[in-house]
Structure 1
Amino acid sequence: MHILPLSEFRANASAMLDLVEQGETVRIMRHGKPVADLVPPSGSAGPERLPSWKRPFDPVVLPAGQSLADAVIEDRARAAW
Structure 2
Amino acid sequence: MELKMFYRTQRELAVDLNKLVDSYWQEEIKENELIDGIKNLYENNNEKLLKDNQFTKVVQQHCGKRRLAVVEKVLEIK
TM (norm. structure 2) is 0.29
TM (norm. structure 1) is 0.28
Which structure's residues are more often strand, by fraction?
Answer: 1
Which structure's residues are more often helix, by fraction?
Answer: 2
Which is higher, the Rg of structure 1 or of structure 2? Answer: 1
